[in-house]
């Protein structure tokens, strides 16, 4: 995670936003003059994080995921092409 002081971040905000989206890497904006530290992440990464937390907060889903992983380890799983699942052509 990159770190940058608030004043510098303010002056380079456009470039920082571009880097956050290009590299999917968060930026730590270090507060000055009483400001608290803040982390800047892309909307896509934020949405993914919220979705993962939601899934992980549901015990039934965790149990189902673990059951599926165990079945795969035991050779009971079947590999399915993602393009067939989505009904799209590879390309």
In a domain, residue 80? The reply is: no
Residues 23 and 50 in one domain: no
pTM, to two decimals: 0.64
CA distance 21 to 88: 27
What SS3 class is residue 33?
coil
> Starting from the edge strand earliest in sequence, which strands make up the sheet with 2-5, in order?
2-5, 27-30, 38-40
Q: Are residue 9 and residue 37 in the same domain, yes or no?
A: yes
SS3 80: coil
Q: Which of 27, 39, 30 is nearest to 6 (CA)?
A: 30
Q: How confident is the model at residue 89 (pLDDT cuts 50, 70, 90)?
A: confident
Domain count, the chain: 2
In this structure, are 26 and 52 located in the same domain?
Answer: no
Range of the domain at 27: 2-41
Residues 29, 54, single domain; the answer is no
| Predicted confidence (pLDDT) per residue in 25-74, tens digit | 999 999 988 899 999 999 999 999 999 999 999 999 999 989 988 988 89
Flag whether 85 is in a domain.
Answer: no
């Amino acid at each position: 995670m990159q770190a940058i002081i608030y004043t510098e971040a303010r002056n380079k905000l456009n470039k920082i936003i571009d880097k956050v989206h290009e590299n999917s890497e968060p930026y730590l904006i270090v507060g000055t003059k009483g400001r608290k530290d803040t982390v800047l992440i892309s909307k896509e990464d934020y949405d993914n994080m919220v979705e993962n937390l939601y899934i992980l907060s549901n015990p039934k889903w965790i149990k189902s995921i673990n059951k599926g992983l165990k079945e795969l380890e035991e050779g009971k799983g079947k590999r399915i092409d993602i393009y067939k699942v989505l009904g799209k052509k590879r390309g």
